[in-house]
Amino acid sequence: MSRFSAPIAEQIWDMKYRLKEADGTPIDQTVEDTWRRIARSLASVETEPELWEDRFYAALEDFRYLPAGRIIAGAGTGRSVTLFNCFVMGTIPDSMGGIFDNLKEAALTMQQGGGIGYDFSTIRPKGADVKGVAADASGPLSFMDVWDAMCRTIMSAGSRRGAMMATMRCDHPDIQDFITAKSDPARLRMFNVSVLVTDPFMDAVKDDRSWDLVFDGKVYHTVQARDLWNKIMQSTYDYAEPGVIFIDRINAANNLNYVEDIAATNPCGEQPLPPYGACLLGSINLARLVSDPFESAARLDETALDDLVRVAIRMMDNVVDASRFPLEAQAREAQAKRRIGLGVTGLADALLMLGLRYGSDAAAAQTEEWMHQIARAAYLASVDLAKEKGAFPLFDAKGFLASGNMEGMDEDIREAIAEHGIRNALLTSIAPTGTISLYAGNVSSGIEPVFAYSYTRKVLQRDGSRTEEEVEDYAVQLWREKFGDIDLPDHFVNAQTLPPADHVKMQAAAQRWIDSSISKTINCPEDISFEDFKDVYMQAWDTGCKGCTTYRPNDVTGSVLSVSEAQEKTAGSKVGEIAQEGEVVYISEPLDRPQSLEGQTYKLRWPESSHAIYITINDIVQNGHRRPFEVFINSKNMEHFAWTVALTRMISAVFRRGGDISFVVEELKAVFDPRGGAWMNGKYVPSILAAIGGVIERHLISIGFIDGEGMGLKADPQARVIEMGGRPRGPVCSSCGSHEMRMIEGCLTCADCGYSKCG
């Protein structure tokens, strides 16, 4: 009998976590084989590996403890991969050489996947003097463009996806440009961005005082703090970014504030980390620990929870020794502090099984109680590990116990740490669990409310066809099995109907006993007023949260123009015509070339090339509209001959197929040259191919094929919403092509295939 409670769970396992040969032949025949592989690998560093292998297997069994996906997929495979999810890179020096050294490190890290975070506050503002070269600085945002291009290139090369977080202090002179940077749909697509908000800034906002924007001791501008706060809020209201990170609160609470300063987080925000900091993640599946669900005697088995947490902590500590790292500096940092992040998933389902409405006072109190129990078990388990294996190398009892987090810890735990030390500097974090929650039977994700109790999932088959299957939330499935197909009780609320204040209440309740941070999305209704929206952030600040991420659906953040998955050839259809339902019509055969075409030739001078490149784009006119038909790329530099011919043929072939070919521009503009790009017309262009993409884009704009820079097929969040059967279609998943992308835990996640922008 299968251990999977739903077809989607088995499909996610097969697609993402099942060990296979290079040709796709399965090595893990069953999910039990996967559990055994992980348990054996993580027990291999123990002095009694067979004993711990069985205990680790028991924790994994029936999806009770869920290591992060990177561990499930990589542990015990013999592959040179990192098992860590989160990295914050080194401090970026304010020098050209240092900046590009850090870019190289980021590329090496991203090749192994995972999310990386950067603080760009250390780079001097735009227009500042650059000593010795009689020039003005281009500012941190120009270098963020370079990082963005690098990330897109690494991903397009077939490496595991990764995402990036960029942070900037609220007192940096370029903060206002940073806040609005992602209002440009063509810019910083690979980044999440968050403002580092300080305690003095929040005081100035509340008191309506002035606020200095400073770099290296020099005041560049003075603004009203409340005006700057409103600018952050307006951008977030319109574009869902930037997020807000209460950085002083994070540093004050940090167990390690005596040896490190934090200025950045991983992409989803649950891991504030120091330079070269890395963290691994795992989750306790609370939904699997409830006995007698939906009955008056329903309860979460606290003894099982304690035992499971203790085993999970040991497993995660062993990952520090079993994993490889992209950079030696990351390995040293991880070994010195042995930071781990144990969290939960299935919280909302567990609350439902106990008859509690997510967001109610009772649910918040129960959540805080469970988090307290998990924190106690985790810290005591780490103390026991310190007795057996030693404390983390940088442990100092006085400094550790003086942190804001430890000052509120239970006295018996403080006494145990003072006497024996502790194995892991930080232990708890609530991370995104979108994919592993599907793998565990579609339990509710992290501490989020249930997003949808059921939905129809489109499954892409090997032959290219799609089948549909109904997917139910885990708790709903249990309810149906027990009571049949009757209406769900009133306490079954979901993310779409929950008031934002209830979201914040739950985040604050969980944060009380989480020593790192929490990845959570506070869903806001589209019609929420701007003043009420700002109140959400003030509530997060006032109730002790370490950050805040919201999502308000609208034409910009919630839907994009969709492209048909399978277009039938329609007699009389115009190439690129928008059909009545708003979908682009594609032709099945390439057009024949007319005898003559109108076109334009552009000269491109690449700084590193001895000869100019000439790009000719010819257009076809149909029904009074011009559209590109072919391209020719020529240069006297013979080093360019082969690739320019190949590019000419490939792009022309795409153009002649019709439809919206603007994605060609976006793909070219994303190419990053590791040897370096060039500054052209005041803008950094990451490669010669990106420059060619820019030329083609300008031509498409000139003939009216696209409306403006960055408005191509892959990058037009401002396109009108298309109604399909009365229901707007959301963003398309770049992995499976479905329109089931949802904002969960601060990251767009596909409900059909589990793909997440944040890895």
pLDDT at residue 512, as a whole number: 96
Active-site option among 270, 583, 697, 709: 270
Low-confidence ranges of the chain (pLDDT < 50): 157-159, 559-589, 715-728
- Any bridge partners for residue 115, and if so which? 86
pLDDT at residue 646, as a whole number: 85
pLDDT at residue 540, as a whole number: 98
pLDDT at residue 584, as a whole number: 37
pLDDT, tens only, 699-710: 999 988 887 887
pLDDT at residue 132, as a whole number: 63
pLDDT, tens only, 640-675: 788 888 888 888 888 876 667 788 888 888 888 777
Is 254 known to be catalytic? no
pLDDT at residue 641, as a whole number: 80
Is 270 known to be catalytic? yes
Supply 1's token pair: 């009998």
From residue 293, give the alpha-carbon distance in Å to each of 594, 676, 686.
71, 59, 56
**Residues 50, 427, 202, CA angle at the centre, nearest 5°?**
165
Is 266 known to be catalytic? yes
- Any bridge partners for residue 471, and if so which? 455
CA distance 36 to 57: 6
As a whole number of Å, the CA-based R_g of the chain is 27
Active-site option among 86, 151, 170, 268: 268
Taking the chain, what is the end-to-end CA distance rounded to the nearest angstrom?
31
CA distance 685 to 692: 10
Contacts (Cβ under 8 Å, ≥6 apart) of 717: 185, 555, 556, 557, 560, 731
Supply 136's token pair: 């003005």
From residue 591, give the alpha-carbon distance in Å to each of 574, 622, 656, 662.
12, 12, 6, 18
Supply 416's token pair: 């145990």
Is the separation of the CB atoms in 468 and 454 below 8 Å? no
CA distance 563 to 554: 19
CA distance 313 to 306: 11
Closest CA to 617 of 607, 627, 608: 627
Q: What percent helix, strand, coil does the chain show, rounded to 5? A: 40, 20, 45
pLDDT at residue 588, as a whole number: 39
Active-site option among 266, 285, 442, 618: 266
Helices and strands, number each (H, E), in the chain: 24, 30
CA distance 193 to 176: 13
DSSP string across 290-356: EESTTSTT-EE-HHHHHHHHHHHHHHHHHHHHH---SSHHHHHHHHHH--EEEEEE-HHHHHHHTT-
Predicted structure pTM score: 0.81
pLDDT at residue 589, as a whole number: 44
Please give the DSSP secondary-structure letter assigned to residue 675: T
